[in-house]
Amino acid sequence: MNITVYLGANKGNNPRLQSAVQELGQWIGTSGNALVYGGSKSGLMGAIADSVLNAGGEVTGVEPQFFIDSEIQHDGLTKLIVTKDMTERKTKMIQLGDAFIAFPGGTGTLEEISEVMSKVSLKHLNAPCILYNLDGYYNGLKMLLDHMIENGLSSRERQEGIYFAESLEDIKRILESDREKENTETIYQS
């Protein structure tokens, strides 16, 4: 499966980010899955790409032309797709993904995963949307989603398919559970 991961081009100041992103990349690379990400060579983005590649996995980067012009693209990728702008980039990353993970990141990461969350809640995208809640990073967002439900502006059904994972093991369980659910649905539709 293609796993689209959203994460920052900065390293952040929590040393666990680097080791956790490398662990995630190593697993993607050795599990037979492939990485789709933003295409940068810097920060956590570069670290996940290097980890997947070093583990023998395939990596597709999707980067807008203005980043290419700034020469921040990762040159060792399996495939690099160049888009005209950020909007086209987001669309392409969603088209390519079978599952979506938001690693701790900044406003760009939040914007990208918000679009996936919206598509999942509207049932326009049938794929798991996972927020990697490393060290409670996404606790505030989790509270906000609960607050939406409490105020009658969302529902558990609408938020079905949006998950919070505390560890790589949680991510693996969510993806496996989703795969089993999909296989069961296919059997019943046959």
Residue pLDDT, tens place only, 10-41: 999 999 999 999 999 999 999 999 999 999 88
Percent of the chain with pLDDT over 90: 83
What pLDDT was estimated at residue 183? 63
By C-alpha distance, which of 35, 33, 84, 34 is closest to 63? 84
pLDDT tens digits, one per residue of 100-109: 999 999 999 9
> What average pLDDT does this structure show over 49-58?
97
Sorted by sequence, the CB contacts under 8 Å of residue 175 that are 6+ apart come out as: 1, 3, 99, 128, 130
pLDDT tens digits, one per residue of 141-189: 999 999 999 999 999 999 999 999 999 999 999 999 887 776 655 444 4
Amino acid residing at 58: E
**Three-state secondary-structure class, residue 143:** helix
CA distances for 22 relative to 34, 43, 141, 177, angstroms: 14, 12, 24, 23
Sorted by sequence, the CB contacts under 8 Å of residue 155 that are 6+ apart come out as: 149
Sorted by sequence, the CB contacts under 8 Å of residue 75 that are 6+ apart come out as: 41
